[in-house]
Chain A
Amino acid sequence: MIDRLSLAFRYALRSLRRGGQRTVLAVFCIAVGVMAVVALRLAASMISLSLTGNVREVNGGDVSVEAASLPLTSDQLAPFARLQQQGVIERYVPVATGRGVVRRGDIGSIAQIDILDNPAAYPAVGRPQLAQPADGTFATMLAGPGSIVLAQFLADDVHARVGDRVRFSIAGGGATDVLVTGISKNTVTSGPFTVYISQATYSQLDQAAERYSFIGVVTRDDAHADQAAAALRRGLPTTSVRTAQEALTTNLSNADQISRYVQVVGLLALLIGGVGIVNTMQVALSRRRVEIAMLKTAGYRRRDLYAMFALEAAMLGLAGGVLGTAMGVGASVLARVLLQKALLIEITFNLDPGAVAIGVVVGIATALIFGLLPIVRAAGVRPAAVLRDLPEARGVGSRLQTLGLYALLVALFTGLSATLLSSVPLALGVVAGTLVLLLVLAGVFALIVTVVGRLPVPERATVPFIGLVTAAVLAAALIATVVRAVGVALLIAAASGYLVLLLPRRRKTSLMLALRSLRRTRGRTATTLVALFVGVFTIGLVLVLAQDITAKINDSLTRLANFSVFAIASPGDAGALQKQSTHLPGLLERRVTDDVTGTTPVAINGQPIAELLPPILPGQSDDEEGRFGLNLLSGIEGYRLDAGQLPQTFLLAGTALTPADAATDNVLLRNELQQSPLFLHLGDSVTLLGPSGKEQRTVHVIGFYSATASGALGGQIRLFLEPIIGGRQLTDTIGGPSRQTIVAMRFDPRQKTAALQQLQRSVPGIAILDLADIAGLVGQILSDLVILLVSLASLALFAGLVIIGNTVALAMLERRREIGILKAVGHSSASVLSQVLIENGIVGAVGAVAGMAVVTGATFLLGRFVLGTELTVQTPIVIVVVAGVSMLTVATAALVAWGPTRIRPLEVLRYE
């Protein structure tokens, strides 16, 4: 038995070695799929660890209380004090929040301010996650007045380091220079735009009473945490209370979902690789028909052959699994970097040994599953084939066997998927959905290949041929009027028909043979096209969407928006700002409003708001159930209606504000407030509490507006810094000393920078918000996200190219005799190679054009029905993708076919 195993092992190893290029390509097919599975699994594991690793810290305490929509006043913290006295909780750390701007030189960034009453007590659990100083504490960093700690992302954005001074202004007016004393890491708990300051520093800019939106609570144990959570839910019904255990459960569930869906991507890469394995092994084993028949004459039965070839497949799988796992670990390092940039959180690298082991096992399993069909077919070779070349059986039984094998392959792959996804229904859905899609695509491409393969290559110009090309050109031109980008690509392809007439005879022959070869191997070409199409589609979609969305955001924020710069001043600087902003260089348009930030809705039509809100269930985030809509009642933009300054809104219901409303409390609200949870109507009254907590005012809803509208040229945005639109008298009354004067401006882009510098110098106490900074930020985030997505999509394209290489190698193998005959009758190596390159160039171009055509359709549908805007595909992107993919395909084919086309005819024909 050992001797037999030893011989079988040697036979398998040497057969693989003899396979040479074929073996390498087969190993790569497996490796690509395994790499995707391992890399994505590791990345998901790292994200999961970040979410669940230290859940107390992630939660902000043993119990966390969030009140972002309706921040709590100091009085409302009484339940915490009570629980502390009772010994239910050990301590609690309230954090107030605000909004502001951090600016260094010309670069500014929005900031989410965390105001710490007692820096020494923060965070409630764990140590601060600091980039600099690594061993710092908030107590030391915020000890002195005028200190600030910035989040890493924000610090990088404004190019600030520890020891730098930055300009810090708050939404309620007031600005000051502060010293950067620390930089915090981007974590799940600390957002990318978070800044930390002490209450002492904040109160220098805003004397309004604090409103707390987060309280971290520490308890002795889980039982006390549950007790505290129950009491807080009863006492503070408008807040979201969550224990660390609940957070863990939620985060585990979320991490599991992320992992599962990320694994789907890996499985699809594995499937594409598997297709390559099937066709590699199929032809490799068919070349050994006589060898297999000889083994049968020597007495080897089917099961003996199954075992031998299964060992060979397993060895292929092992090699591919090990290589793929190593590549996957490397890719996960890259994925971690990209994910950190895209998600704006710090992710700890974690090499999960389970994922590594799974990679190797998946490699072996994939090779065995996809090798099943070729192995069974090969073992069915008739022993009589050793005496003469017998064709393979094509009877009903043979076809049924093939169908049965395909069904078994699908079943086994579904089993593998279910194991990786830990979900049978999801696996079934993914596999079935993918199969249906692939079959449809294969059918369509088979049709396209049939048509392309029948294109004529006349020796000289004929009327029918010129007529055909002209018709194609006209059709492409027509398509270009509707779908420009793809139409232009088709136009170029159609017009090349005229160039065919100018080709020398030798090249025409190569072209003709290439087209015939395509037609002959329709099935295999269609499969190759499917693989290529998937890669082109994913990359194309990511590139087009990213480019289009980035352009739209930039366009919207800086061109389509009515104003792109906002100068914010406290009452003390309001006069100076209005005066200095009147004659700035390049100023095109200017608007002055008086805003109040941080109003709190307390009642609707006299009914307390707490009674109108649905209860927050345990574990539910404050932002769910539409509570984010409450933010749309936090802040009023006051217009000088009596002076004829009317707000330019996109009114959806009711009436616009007029000068007659100047002395009233009539307001316009955002249309989203008509939905859950408040369901406001025209004529409703909303009672608002001012930011100081003292002033209260009831406003009347006379209209609902939208912040965006679609115009003839695309979207338009009207920017309002506060969501409630009313008159100045209202903001004067409710805002008191907390109101701000906002001067909204639009500049000639060439003079904007100089103008803003002049303004900042002349009124140092103001905050300047430039939308170009936001656009730049969004662009950077999008860019990082695009890199991540393109990297993932590249896996599909890479797999497609590997399959092309495989297919060309196999075709060269099968056509050795044909090549020998061609060369024997006078064709050169160059002409044989050119035939192969033309063939694969056509395949690449067809796959790329098809992929981009579907991208065009998909982006149109996405824009129309999902994003509510027109998304277009730029012609240069299509041309670059089509040209690039075609060249990649040709290069791959050249690399693989170079050697085989140089073979000597006698060698081939004698061998054959």
Chain B
Amino acid sequence: MRRWLPLGAEVVEILCGVDFRIERGEFVALMGPSGSGKSTLLGVVAGLDRPNEGQVLVDGIDITAMPESRLAVVRNAKIGMVFQAFNLIPTLTAQENVEVPLYVGDHLGSPAARAREMLALVGLEHRLDHRPNQLSGGEQQRVAIARALATDPAIVIADEPTGNLDAANGERLLELIGDLRTRTGATFLIATHDREVAGRAERTLVIVDGRLRDDGTEVRHPGEVPA
């Protein structure tokens, strides 16, 4: 796919013919320096932005030209997002933040029960009623992950999830992601500029100047097989 933006009389190409596939259950890292088109690519994959050319299929659903109202349904059902700045709603508790996506779309069972289950999964069963400002950075990110997983999405997209965490917390978060993959079989796409973070993934896509580098930097870790 391609994505460009007009800038005055010129056109700036942000994504120049990006083509890739992520299998269910994979843990893929997306690496690239600032301005490489990483966030744009994430946005397109997450249905937050549209490519000018090409196609985006999420779990077999073509979201390329989908109207916003239907995109919202797909985002709710198929995509979970985790952000560098956590983006928890400050006025809601940890449990309520995880419940938020469960009140739109078709989801079976009690949102509260599901939220408690997800928070237990990330080890925060003792922090259900705490507000974001009462949680550490690492805990907030774990709540964000729980929120992303609550709707059992086809893919979890994380934008620099360890960017606002110290090394220890970042490490713990990556271990958690690995653990969650094992327990839930969830698919993860993580954008990062950190090689160590990327090293945890099964595969790394490197994007530079809007292009995925095809020079052998696609890394597959031995012993890790996609689910």
Give A contacts to B, CB under 8 Å.
3-4, 7, 10-11, 14-15, 17-18, 290-291, 294-302, 304, 382-384, 386-388
Interface pair A294/B75, CB less than 8 Å apart: no
Minimum Cβ distance to chain A for residue B171 (Å): 23
Docked CA distance A17–B92 (Å): 12
Residues of B within 8 A of A386 (CB): 48, 81, 83, 87
A-B contact pairs, 9 of them (CB 8 A): A3-B103, A7-B103, A294-B89, A297-B46, A298-B81, A299-B75, A302-B69, A384-B43, A387-B43
A391 CB to closest chain B CB (Å) equals 13
Q: Are A11 and B89 touching (Cβ within 8 A)?
A: yes
Contact of B110 among A3, A383, A384, A387 (CB under 8 A): A3
- CB proximity of B69 to chain A, nearest CB, Å: 6
Contact B76 A298 (CB under 8 A): yes
A296 touches B72 (CB 8 A): yes
- Residues of chain B contacted by A388 (CB below 8 angstroms): 39
Which of B49, B75, B90, B110 makes the CB contact (< 8 A) with A298? B75
Q: Which of B94-102, B178-186, B195-203 contacts A (4 or more CB under 8 A)?
A: B94-102
Give per-residue flags for B98-142: 1 if the beta carbon is below 8 A from chain A beta carbons, else 0: 011101110000111000000000000000000000000000000
Contact of A14 among B49, B81, B92 (CB under 8 A): B92
Contact present for B76 and A299 (CB under 8 Å): yes
**What residues on A are CB-neighbors of B154 within 8 Å?**
none
Decide: B49 and A7 in contact? CB cutoff 8 A: no
Contact across chains for B81 and A300 when beta carbons are under 8 A apart:
no
Q: Is the CB of B48 within 8 A of A387?
A: yes
> Known interface pairs A295-B100, A298-B104, A299-B104. Does A10 touch B72 (Cβ–Cβ under 8 Å)?
no
Shortest CB-to-CB span from A183 to chain B, Å, is 62
Known A3-B112, A386-B48: A299·B69 in contact at CB below 8 Å: no
Whether B92 and A299, one on each chain, are in contact in the complex, defined by CB atoms closer than 8 angstroms, is: no
Which residues of chain B are near A10, meaning CB under 8 Å? Answer: 92, 96
**A434: shortest Cβ distance to chain B, in Å?**
37
B111 contacts A3, CB within 8 Å? Answer: yes
Query: Contact string, B71-89, partner A, CB cutoff 8 A, digits 1/0?
Result: 0110111010101010101
Question: Across the interface, do B89 and A291 meet the contact criterion of CB distance under 8 Å?
Answer: yes
Point out the residue from A3, A11, A299 that lies within 8 Å of B101, measured CB to CB. Answer: A299
B26 at the interface (CB under 8 A from A): no
Task: Report the bound CA distance from A15 to B75 in whole Å.
Answer: 25
Q: Are A299 and B96 in contact (CB under 8 A)?
A: no
How distant is the Cα of A304 from the Cα of B105 in the complex, in angstroms?
11
Query: Which B residues form the contact surface with A (CB < 8 A)?
Result: 39, 42-43, 46, 48-49, 68-69, 72-73, 75-77, 79, 81, 83, 85, 87, 89-92, 96, 99-101, 103-105, 110-112, 147, 151, 159
Asked if B75 and A290 sit within 8 Å, CB to CB, the answer is no
Task: Decide: A387 and B159 in contact? CB cutoff 8 A.
Answer: yes
Docked complex Cα distance between A221 and B88 (Å): 76
Q: How distant is the Cα of A786 from the Cα of B85 in the complex, in angstroms? A: 59
Q: For A18, list chain B residues within 8 Å (CB).
A: 90-91
Q: Take A297-B81, A387-B42 as given contacts and tell me if A4 and B103 are in contact as well, using a CB distance cutoff of 8 Å.
A: yes
B89 touches A298 (CB 8 A): no
For the complex formed, measure the closest distance between the CB of B34 and the CB atoms of chain A, giving whole angstroms: 11
Most buried by B among A299, A302, A304: A299
Contact B49 A11 (CB under 8 A): no
Q: Is the CB of A299 within 8 A of B87?
A: no
The 4 closest A-B pairs by CB, nearest first: A299-B76, A14-B91, A298-B101, A384-B48
Complex Cα gap A296–B87 (Å)? 12
Q: Which residues of A contact B39 (CB under 8 A)?
A: 387-388
**With a CB–CB cut-off of 8 A, which chain A residues contact B110?**
3
Taking the nearest CB of chain A, how far is it from the CB of B82, in angstroms?
10
Residues of chain A contacted by B87 (CB below 8 angstroms): 290-291, 294, 386
A326 and B89 alpha carbons, distance in the complex (Å): 34
Contact partners of B48 in chain A: CB under 8 A: 297, 382-384, 386-387
Task: Find out whether the CB atom of B90 lies under 8 angstroms from the CB atom of A300.
Answer: no
Contacts of A304 in B (CB 8 A): 104
Query: Which residues of the other chain, A, contact B99 by a CB distance below 8 angstroms?
Result: 3, 7
Q: Which residues of B contact A7 (CB under 8 A)?
A: 92, 96, 99-100, 103
Docked pose: A709 CA to B112 CA in angstroms: 85
Q: Which of B46, B48, B91 has the most CB of A within 10 A?
A: B91
**B83 and chain A: residue at smallest CB distance:** A386
In the assembled complex, the CB of A760 is this many whole angstroms from the nearest CB of chain B, namely 79
A-B contact sample (6 more), CB < 8 A, given A383-B48, A383-B75, A386-B87 = A11-B91, A294-B87, A297-B75, A299-B104, A387-B42, A387-B48
B119 to chain A, nearest CB (A): 16
Q: Which residues of A contact B42 (CB under 8 A)?
A: 387
Q: Complex formed: what's the CA distance from A741 to B104 in Å?
A: 95
B92 touches A11 (CB 8 A): yes
CB contacts (< 8 Å) of B111 on chain A: these are 3-4
Q: Tell me, in angstroms, the Cα distance from A81 to B136 when the chains sit together.
A: 98
Interface pair B105/A299, CB less than 8 Å apart? yes
Smallest Cβ distance from B189 to chain A, in angstroms? Answer: 14
Cross-chain contact of A299 among B43, B77, B112 (Cβ < 8 A): B77
Determine how close the nearest CB of chain B comes to the CB of A201; give it in whole angstroms.
78
Closest-by-CB residue of B relative to A1 is B103
Q: Report the minimal beta-carbon distance from B29 to chain A, rounded to whole angstroms.
A: 17
Which residue of chain A is the closest to B79 with respect to CB atoms? A297
Note all chain A residues with C-beta closer than 8 A to B43: 384, 387
Smallest beta-carbon distance B58→chain A, Å: 13
Q: Within 8 Å CB of A291, what residues of B?
A: 87, 89-90
Q: When chains A and B are docked, how far (Å) is the Cα of A68 from the Cα of B206?
A: 102
Docked pose: A302 CA to B159 CA in angstroms: 24
A302 cross-chain contacts in B, Cβ below 8 A: 68-69
B100→A298 contact, CB < 8 A: yes
Residues of chain A contacted by B79 (CB below 8 angstroms): 297
Complex formed: what's the CA distance from A247 to B37 in Å? 82
Q: In the complex, what residues of A have CB within 8 A of residue B103's CB? A: 3-4, 7
Q: Which residue on A lies nearest to B159, using beta carbons? A: A387
Contact B104 A301 (CB under 8 A): yes
Determine the distance from Cα of A308 to Cα of B39 in the docked complex, in whole angstroms.
29
> How far, in Å, is A297 (CB) from chain B's closest CB?
5
B89 to chain A: which residues have CB within 8 Å? 11, 291, 294-295
Whether B92 contacts A301 by the Cβ 8 Å rule is no
Contact A300 B92, beta carbon cutoff 8 Å: no
Most buried by B among A4, A296, A383: A383
In the bound assembly, the distance between CA atoms of A3 and B96 in angstroms comes to: 11
CA–CA, A302 and B83, complex, Å = 22
Residues of B within 8 A of A383 (CB): 48, 75
Closest chain A CB from B207 CB (angstroms) = 15
Contacts of A295 in B (CB 8 A): 89, 100
For A296, the chain B residues whose CB sits under 8 A away are 72, 75
* Closest chain A residue, CB of each to CB of B110: A3
Taking the nearest CB of chain A, how far is it from the CB of B11, in angstroms? 18
Bound state CA distance, A722 and B43, in angstroms?
93
Contacts of A301 in B (CB 8 A): 68-69, 72, 104
User: How near does chain A come to B175, taking the closest CB pair, in angstroms?
Assistant: 25
CA A388 to CA B87, docked complex, whole Å:
12
Q: Counting chain B CB atoms within 10 Å of each CB, which of A14, A290, A304 scores highest?
A: A14
Closest chain B CB from A388 CB (angstroms):
6
Expressed in whole angstroms, the Cα–Cα distance for A462 and B147 within the complex equals: 64
Give Cα A15–Cα B90 distance, bound, in whole angstroms: 9
Residue of A nearest to B78 (CB): A299
Q: Closest approach, in angstroms, between the C-beta of B112 and any C-beta of chain A?
A: 7
CB closest residue in chain B, given A294: B87
Contact present for B90 and A299 (CB under 8 Å) = no
The docked-state distance in angstroms from the alpha carbon of A295 to that of B75 is 10
A15 to B101, CA, bound (A): 18
Q: A17 vs B87: C-alpha distance in the bound complex, in angstroms? A: 19
Give Cα A79 to B213, complex, Å: 115
Query: Do the beta carbons of B91 and A15 come within 8 Å of each other?
Result: yes
Within the assembled complex, what's the spacing in Å between the Cα atoms of A744 and B167?
104
Chain A residues whose C-beta falls within 8 Å of the C-beta of B85 in the assembled complex: 290
Distance of B13 from chain A, by nearest CB (Å):
17
Contacts of B91 in A (CB 8 A): 11, 14-15, 17-18
Contact residues in A for B73 (Cβ distance below 8 Å): 299
